[in-house]
C-alpha cells in the first residue's frame, strides 16, 4: 500500500534535516512515510544530517534547571508556549519559576506528580489552564527531568532556552558547572561508551556501512572502516571521551581526574528548546 506524501511531510523533514526538497520527498517515499526511517535513508546516502536528539521540545517556552539546597537532587522543567512574545515575558518566566520552586519544595519525582502540587491553594494543572485562558496560547509542561546524586550541579543557558543537570560522585561545584557547560555546548548522547544503547550503535554501524558502499569501496573493507566510524561516533558523542571545551588537549575524563581521582559523572539531563 502506497502512502501519500504531503508537502507538509516534506517540509517537516526538510526543517529537521536541512536536506533538499527532492531528497526529502525521495527519502519519505523510500521509507513509506516513516519519518525516522527517512532520516536514516538520508544519512545512508551520505547526507550531513544530525542524529535525532530527544532533548528538543517545544520551539518556544521557558526552561528552569535548579537543585535542592544541599545539591543532592536537581530538576529541570520545560513549560512550553507558542510564541517568543510570551516566553520572553517577565511574568511568564516568573510563573514557570514558581512551578520549579514548588517542584523542589515538594521533592517532585515526575511531571504527573508536579501537576497535582498545590501553590497558594491552586493545583499546578489548574494554574496552567488559567494561564492558557489568560494569554490565549497553548501552555504545557512538556519536559520534567530529575537527577539524584552525591552532588548535583545545574546550569541554565541562553535566557532559559536550555537547562542541564549533572550528577557527580562527590561535591565539586566548579567542576560541576564546567561539565554542565560542556554538555550544553557539545550535546553528548551518554556519559560513556557503556551508557550508549546497543541499538544506537547498531543503527550507526548500519548507516556507516551503507555510506561506505555508496562511496564505492569494497564490501570487505566496509566492516573495518565502519569500526573506525563507530569509534569516532563514540568519541564525539560520549561525555567522558569528548575533548574538554576549556582545554582541547584533554578529555572530560582527564579533566575530572585532574580535579579528584574519584570524581565521576553518574548521569546528566539536557533539555533544550527546539
Tens digits of residue pLDDT in 38-92: 988 988 887 777 555 545 445 899 999 999 999 999 999 999 998 999 999 999 9
Q: Residue 224 falls within a domain, yes or no?
A: no
Contacts of 240 (CB under 8 A, 6+ apart): 191, 192, 251, 252, 253, 265
**CA distance readout (Å), 192 to 152, 156, 179, 234:** 18, 23, 14, 8
Q: Residue 259 falls within a domain, yes or no?
A: no
* 8 Å CB contact between 6 and 28: no
- 39 with 87, same domain: the answer is no
- Residue 11's pLDDT band, with cuts at 50, 70 and 90, is confident
- 41 with 165, same domain: the answer is no
Higher pLDDT, 179 or 3: 179
pLDDT on residue 186: 96
* 8 Å CB contact between 170 and 150: yes
* 8 Å CB contact between 154 and 162: no
Rg (CA), the chain: 21
pLDDT on residue 50: 58
Per-residue pLDDT of 228-257, as tens digits, reads: 999 999 999 999 999 999 999 999 999 999
* 8 Å CB contact between 108 and 117: yes
- Cα dihedral 164, 65, 145, 121, rounded to 10, equals -170
pLDDT on residue 215: 85
pLDDT on residue 13: 87
- 34 with 95, same domain: the answer is no
Evaluate if pTM is beyond 0.95. Answer: no
Which residue, among 202, 186, 271, has the nearest Cα to 235 in the 3D structure? 186
Cell 541562553 -> residue:
158
pLDDT on residue 62: 97
Q: In what order do the strands lie in the sheet with 140-148?
A: 60-67, 73-81, 140-148
Per-residue pLDDT of 87-135, as tens digits, reads: 999 999 999 999 999 999 999 999 999 999 999 999 999 999 999 889 8
Q: Say how far apart CA 12 and CA 138 lie, in whole Å.
A: 20
Query: How many structural domains compose the chain?
Result: 2
* 8 Å CB contact between 242 and 235: yes
- 81 with 121, same domain: the answer is yes
Task: Tell me the average pLDDT of the chain.
Answer: 91
Q: Residue 247 falls within a domain, yes or no?
A: no
pLDDT on residue 54: 47
Q: Residue 79 falls within a domain, yes or no?
A: yes
* 8 Å CB contact between 62 and 78: yes
- 83 with 182, same domain: the answer is yes
Q: Is the dihedral of CA 216, 218, 219, 224 positive or negative?
A: negative
Please give the grid coordinates belonging to residue 83: 510564541
Q: Which domain holds residue 26?
A: 1-52
Amino acid at each position: 500500500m502506497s502512502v501519500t506524501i504531503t508537502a507538509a511531510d516534506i517540509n517537516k523533514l526538510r526543517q529537521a534535516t536541512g536536506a533538499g526538497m527532492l531528497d526529502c520527498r525521495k527519502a519519505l517515499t523510500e521509507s513509506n512515510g516513516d519519518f525516522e526511517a527517512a532520516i536514516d535513508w538520508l544519512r545512508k546516502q551520505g547526507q550531513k544530517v544530525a542524529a535525532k536528539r530527544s532533548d528538543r521540545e517545544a520551539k518556544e517556552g521557558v526552561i528552569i534547571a535548579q537543585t535542592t539546597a544541599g545539591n543532592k537532587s536537581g530538576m529541570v522543567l520545560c513549560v512550553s508556549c507558542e510564541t517568543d512574545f510570551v516566553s520572553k515575558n517577565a511574568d511568564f518566566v516568573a510563573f514557570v519559576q514558581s512551578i520549579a520552586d514548588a517542584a523542589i519544595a515538594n521533592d517532585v519525582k515526575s511531571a504527573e506528580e508536579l501537576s497535582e502540587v498545590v501553590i497558594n491553594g491552586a493545583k499546578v494543572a489548574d494554574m496552567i489552564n488559567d494561564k492558557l485562558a489568560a494569554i490565549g496560547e497553548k501552555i504545557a509542561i512538556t519536559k520534567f527531568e530529575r537527577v539524584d546524586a552525591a552532588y548535583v550541579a545545574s546550569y541554565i543557558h541562553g535566557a532559559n532556552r536550555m537547562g542541564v543537570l549533572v550528577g557527580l560522585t562527590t561535591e565539586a561545584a566548579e567542576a560541576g558547572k564546567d561539565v554542565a557547560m560542556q554538555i550544553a555546548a557539545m550535546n553528548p548522547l551518554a556519559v560513556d561508551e557503556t551508557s550508549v544503547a546497543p541499538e544506537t550503535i547498531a543503527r550507526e554501524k548500519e548507516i556507516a556501512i551503507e555510506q561506505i558502499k555508496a562511496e564505492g569501496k569494497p564490501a570487505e573493507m566496509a566492516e573495518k572502516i565502519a569500526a573506525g566510524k563507530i569509534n569516532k561516533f563514540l568519541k564525539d558523542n560520549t561525555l567522558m571521551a569528548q575533548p574538554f571545551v576549556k582545554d582541547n588537549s584533554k578529555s572530560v575524563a582527564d579533566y575530572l581526574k585532574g580535579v579528584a581521582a574519584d570524581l565521576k559523572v553518574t548521569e546528566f539531563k539536557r533539555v533544550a528548546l527546539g
